């Protein structure tokens, strides 16, 4: 499969609705599989999605602990109601790459994007602490709906990681 050459892109603020959870790399589906719940919550309120769904990786902690959100962008700020929360993806400069292929290859695409930025001396919007690594905004945006496209070789995912400054 393939990943595009990364590019630097300015992105505006983006309101969204999401479900938050703490998982491990092995249990990401516990949150990711709740995206239909977010879409249903929005539909019940007559709020249309403003783009494709995403996973937002907020923090990487010890023992493979991840703070994660499964979200859907919307056109205007919403009021969250359990279990759905409202959020705002920050504006800024992002390193972006598009991967075509199964989700199981996203770890390699992520490594490539991180390496691309390091080779150019770019700094990420993240902080390090004894509790782990917290990101300002690190997204996997799912451009292809697996229910509509059964061939994982054709799935497109955008990686968008916010840069410092």
Which residue in this structure is represented by tokens 């929005």?
A: 42
Question: How far, in Å, CA of 60 to CA of 12, rounded?
Answer: 25
pLDDT in tens, 80-98: 888 999 999 999 999 999 9
Question: How far, in Å, CA of 61 to CA of 132, rounded?
Answer: 4
Domain boundaries, the chain: 2-162
Distance, CA of 66 to chain centre: 13
pLDDT at 3 (0 to 100): 83
* Enclosing H/E stretch for 119: helix 106-119
Q: Is 107:28 a contact under the CB 8 Å cutoff? A: no
Topology of domain 2-162, CATH:
Multidrug-efflux Transporter 1 Regulator Bmrr; Chain A (3.20.80)
Q: How far is CA 163 from CA 10, 92, 111, in A?
A: 10, 7, 16
By the 10 Å C-beta count (0-12 exposed, 13-18 middle, 19+ buried), 107 is classed as exposed
pLDDT averages per 10-residue partition of the chain, 165 residues: 90 98 94 97 96 97 92 94 95 98 94 96 93 94 94 97 95
Find all residues with CB under 8 Å of 30, minimum gap 6, and list them. 21, 23
Cis, bond preceding 104 (omega within 30 deg of 0)? no
pLDDT in tens, 59-83: 999 888 999 999 999 999 999 888 9
pLDDT at 22 (0 to 100): 95
DSSP 51: S
């Amino acid at each position: 499969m393939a990943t595009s050459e990364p590019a630097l892109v300015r992105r505006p603020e983006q309101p969204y609705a999401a479900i938050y959870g703490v998982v491990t790399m092995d249990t990401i589906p516990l949150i990711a599989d709740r995206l239909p719940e977010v879409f249903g919550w929005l539909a019940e309120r007559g709020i249309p999605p403003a783009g494709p769904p995403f996973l937002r990786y907020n923090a990487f902690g010890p023992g493979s602990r991840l703070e994660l959100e499964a979200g859907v962008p919307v056109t205007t700020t919403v009021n969250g109601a359990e279990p759905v929360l409202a959020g705002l993806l920050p504006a800024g400069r992002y390193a972006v790459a598009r991967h075509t292929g199964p989700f199981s290859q996203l770890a390699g695409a992520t490594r490539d994007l991180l390496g691309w930025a390091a080779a150019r001396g770019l700094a990420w919007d993240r902080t390090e602490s004894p509790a782990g690594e917290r990101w300002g905004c690190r997204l996997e945006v799912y451009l292809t709906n697996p229910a509509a496209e059964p061939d994982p070789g054709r799935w497109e995912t955008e990686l968008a990681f916010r840069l410092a400054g």
